[in-house]
Amino acid sequence: MEDWLEVAGKKYRSRLIVGTGKYKDFDETKRAIEVSGAEIVTVAVRRVNITDPNKENLLDYLDPKKYTILPNTAGCYNAEDAVRTCRLAREAGVGKLVKLEVIGDDKTLFPDVPATLEAAKILVKEGFDVLPYITDDPITAKKLEDIGCKAVMPLAAPIGSGLGIRNPYNIRIILEQANVPVIVDAGVGTASDAALAMEMGCHGVLMNTAIAGAKDPILMAEAMRLGIEAGRKAFRAGRIAKKLYATASSPLEGILN
């Protein structure tokens, strides 16, 4: 049976979305992404270094025809900056999909929810396909869906923390009520975290540091791909109920006495 992740009208085979930050170089970025199997990759918008003669560009390593480029608004602390960043990103000609993140505080990197809602309204009105990074709050998720966001992306834990899903119960409530994909964004540490998100029924997982920060990023990229696939298959297969006592696996008839 075909099993697709559908985001903003486009179908993807992979449910893993990866970032491109923190790698040693563009070559490592490219190899890790290839091994991860991801088809959507996030990028940031920054000033060109006008005095540096080295003009290598990330997009020279990531073909926008092969990957869906998902520009983020990382580093924006208010709605205005986030909207400005999205407009610049769209002008680069890689589409209208954006990862909206409006940061509220640089220690936790938790989102500023009111500012995120404000920016989302403007961006949806301007025709962007908005994927907002949010806290694991079902009310915020619902509001963003109502505004017209194409997915909601609750954090598992703070960005780069590697703590895994800290509040699976909230994620479950978000999943229960959402009519758009729920993509766990940020906080994943290892493959089992990604698998758990999938087993819960999340539609996708977005990560960067968990792969780029691993001792062997290429091997971790593969582990994440497998974790996502295993978790998704387990979810679709339907796990057994948890029980306090044993249930014998071998038949009781025919036991020697």
Partner 1 sequence: MGMNIKINGEDKEMASGLSVAELLEELQIRPARVVVERNRAIVARDASTQLAEGDTLEIVHFVGGG
**Which residues are at the interface with partner 1 (CB under 8 A)?**
19-23, 26, 29, 42-48, 50, 53, 55, 57-59, 69, 71-72, 74, 84, 87-89, 91-92, 94, 159, 186, 206-209
CB of 21 to partner 1, least distance (A): 4
Measured over the CA atoms of residue 75, residue 218, residue 69 and residue 131, the dihedral's sign is negative
Residue 2 or 52: which CB sits closer to partner 1? Answer: 52
Residue 42 or 140: which CB sits closer to partner 1? Answer: 42
Closest by CA position to 166, among listed 186, 145, 138, 151: 186
* Cβ-contact 127, 101 below 8 angstroms: no
* Largest Cα–Cα separation, the chain: 87
Q: How far apart are CA 156 and CA 154, in angstroms?
A: 7
Catalytic site includes residue 55: no
Q: How far apart are CA 194 and CA 199, in angstroms?
A: 9
Strand 68-71 and strand 16-18: the pairing is unpaired
* Cβ-contact 183, 150 below 8 angstroms: no
Residue 71 or 231: which CB sits closer to partner 1? Answer: 71
Q: Edge-to-edge strand order for the sheet containing 16-18?
A: 16-18, 204-207, 183-185
- Long-range contacts at 236-243 (CB < 8 A, ≥ 24 apart): 236/3, 239/199
CB of 18 to partner 1, least distance (A): 8
Residue that the structure tokens 């509001």 belong to:
143
Please tell me which residue in 55, 65, 99, 242 is annotated as part of the active site: 99
CB of 7 to partner 1, least distance (A): 17
Residue 95 or 148: which CB sits closer to partner 1? Answer: 95
Q: How far apart are CA 124 and CA 79, in angstroms?
A: 13
Residue 94 or 173: which CB sits closer to partner 1? Answer: 94
CB of 206 to partner 1, least distance (A): 8
Catalytic residue numbers?
99
